[in-house]
Chains A and B, each alone.
Chain A
Amino acid sequence: MENFEPVIVAFCCHYCAYTAADMAGSQRLPYPSNVKIIRVPCSGKVDALHITKAFEKGADGVYVAGCLDGDCHFKNGNDKAAKLVTYVQNYLEEIGLEPERLEMVRISAGMGDRFALIATEITEKIRKLGPSPIKTVAA
């Protein structure tokens, strides 16, 4: 437990969070290597199955990073993603996983510092929650 390094999957919108991750890199801002980024064309493209499969494959935490309010490149994909995240959080609870393992965040393309901060905060939160019970069983 003491050496627990969580695996975190971040579904990042190409137009904001993914670019923000790039920005964080350009600015030489460190963020935990626990976060595995998956680029999506819009946070609204993320499906409930992508999230549950991530947990099935051993993720300890998942977050969906979309654009700021009103800034979606495709009108309202970020709002759809937020609704989906709430829906899947309820599903996780039904399954018996802590819904806190899943989160929706909003970042603009220029917010490299915010990307690094969120990645650090979520990693710490999941570290405190401990390993996913799924992984514990599988191991």
Chain B
Amino acid sequence: MITAERKPLEEIIEYIKPFKRILLLGCNECVTVCAAGGRKEVGLLASGLQLALLKSGSSIEIREHTLERQCDPEYVEELVPMIGSEEAILSMACGCGVQQLATRFKDKPVFPALNTKFMGGSLSQGMWDERCKGCGDCLLGLTGGICPIAKCAKQLMNGPCGGSTDGKCEISDDVECAWQLIWNRLKALGQEDRFLDIMPAKDWRSGGGGGPRKIIREDLAE
């Protein structure tokens, strides 16, 4: 999923200060799962903003709504009959959702209430870690299902480096050495030989080095 965290209240208030009526828009997908921008977080942010603004002597009308998905035009279209006197939209979706709104509603300012962080998974309740950098050329089949791009601080293709000690990365004791994890996993699978294969330098064009990426499925595209 795409993970995110709420921006500091102060920054959000700066965005919405000039307006009297805003639409606070959540998303039911990834940001709901990572407890950053679902219906519940929309309610809590609306309440926090009201309190902060009332304290400073101003007020704002906040309409709360949560879409099934903010990154799909079909769902964003649902807003068309709804949006009336709201002067701006404050989005609690990831950056994809914010941009979808900005594209659709050209006459309304759209602001992000979240900082989009990374593509990750849940470690346990309330904890998420980065798992994928979206490099566009997945290596997991060669590395025992552990990604050296997302999990190695240097994104080494043929690790580990000299900074790996007792399975930990030199950047922090909290960070496991990805290449140690890969070695452990290959060993457990009886595929130690694979460790000797030299991986060539990665072509980063598929990972964004060639400019913004796009997928076109000719059979689906209209």
C-beta contact mask, A10-49 vs B, less than 8 Å → 1, else 0? 0000000000000000000000000000000000000111
Q: Which positions 101-130 of chain A face chain B at CB distance < 8 Å?
A: none
Choose from A48, A97, A137 the contact partner of B57 (Cβ within 8 Å): A137
Contacts of B200 in A (CB 8 A): none
* A56 close to B40 (CB less than 8 A): no
Q: Give the distance in Å from the alpha carbon of A94 to the alpha carbon of B56 in the complex.
A: 13
Which bracket fits the contact residues of B?
10 to 19
Contacts of B48 in A (CB 8 A): 52, 91, 94-95
A-facing mask of B5-16, CB < 8 A → 1, else 0? 000111000000
Q: Mark B32-62, 1 if CB is under 8 A from A, else 0.
A: 0000000010011001101110111100000
A91 to B44, CA, bound (A): 10
Q: How far is the CB of A133 from chain B (nearest CB, A)?
A: 5
In the assembled complex, the Cα of A48 lies from the Cα of B48 at a distance in Å of 10
- In the bound complex, residues from chain A placing their C-beta under 8 Å from that of B51 are 52, 55-56, 95-97, 134
Tell me the bound Cα distance from A120 to B31 in angstroms: 42
- Whether A137 pairs with B54 at a CB distance below 8 angstroms is yes
The answer to whether B44 touches A133 (Cβ under 8 A) is no
**A31, B51: Cα distance in complex, Å:** 29
Cα distance A134–B51 in the bound complex, in angstroms: 7
Helix, strand, loop or mixed for chain A's interface? helix
With A49-B47, A52-B47 as known contacts, state yes or no: A97 contacts B55, CB within 8 Å: yes
Q: State which of B8, B10, B43, B55 has its C-beta within 8 Å of the C-beta of A137.
A: B55
- Chain A residues engaging chain B, CB cutoff 8 angstroms: 47-49, 52-53, 55-56, 91, 94-97, 133-134, 137-138
In Å, the complex CA distance between A137 and B47 comes to 16
Instruction: Report whether B54 and A138 are in contact in the complex, using a CB–CB cutoff of 8 Å.
Output: yes
**8 sample A-B contacts, Cβ–Cβ < 8 Å, listed by A number:** A49-B47, A55-B51, A94-B9, A94-B10, A94-B52, A95-B51, A95-B55, A96-B52
Nearest CB in chain A: distance from B115 CB, A: 15
Q: Give A94's nearest chain B residue, CB to CB.
A: B9
Q: Are B44 and A52 in contact (CB under 8 A)?
A: yes
Known: A94-B8, A96-B55, A133-B55. 14 other contacts (CB 8 A): A48-B44, A49-B47, A52-B51, A53-B47, A56-B47, A56-B54, A91-B48, A94-B10, A95-B51, A96-B56, A97-B55, A134-B51, A137-B55, A138-B54
Taken together as a complex, chains A and B put the C-alpha atoms of A44 and B44 apart, in Å, by: 17
Residue of A nearest to B9 (CB): A94
Once the chains bind, are A134 and B47 in contact (CB under 8 Å)?
no
What is the CA–CA distance of A133 and B47 in the complex, to the nearest angstrom?
A: 15
A134 touches B54 (CB 8 A): yes
Alpha-carbon separation in the docked complex, A95 to B49 (Å)? 7
